[in-house]
Amino acid sequence: MTFDILSDYCLSHMGAIKEYPFDETTAVYKVGNKIFALIDEESRPPRINVKCDPFYARELREMYTSVIAGYHMNKKHWNTIICEGEVDDASIFEWIDDSYDLVFGSLSKKAQNQIYSS
């Protein structure tokens, strides 16, 4: 898994944008002005932070050594996935989808409708 593949996948979600609010190497992916993923462009192997249901987040950390508590994030709600091959790409994409869905679902109906209509 490469940064470009992760980035393109994040940006394929409806209304997703990429910004660099923290520094020049941390790509932040948002929907409706809320973060659903972060990727450090310089990390090798790539690392991505995704939002997760707290119970499921803990379960994933117990299952995979390459899934750790979210780096610089609320450890209860965020996981960092080290994309070194232990976790298959389909699972990583699923977790990105889950993160996007959690954040999109937290938006107001007005904000959701604006994204749907854009």
Count of domains observed in the chain: 1
Global confidence as pTM: 0.93
Look at residue 114 and tell me if it is in a domain: no
Distance in angstroms (rounded) separating the CA atoms of residues 93 and 7: 11
Alpha helices, DSSP H only, in the chain? Answer: 3-11, 54-63, 89-106, 109-117
Mean pLDDT across the stretch 75-98? 94
Share of the chain above pLDDT 70, in %: 100
- The residue segments making up the domain with residue 50 are 3-107
Structural domain contains residue 47: yes
The token duo for 82 is 């080290």
Asked if residue 51 is part of any domain, the answer here is yes
CATH code for the domain of 44: 3.90.1150.30
Q: What is the pLDDT of residues 8-59, one digit of tens each?
A: 999 999 999 999 999 999 999 999 999 999 999 999 999 999 999 999 999 9
Q: Is 75 a residue whose pLDDT tops 80?
A: no
CA 16 to chain CA mean position, Å: 11
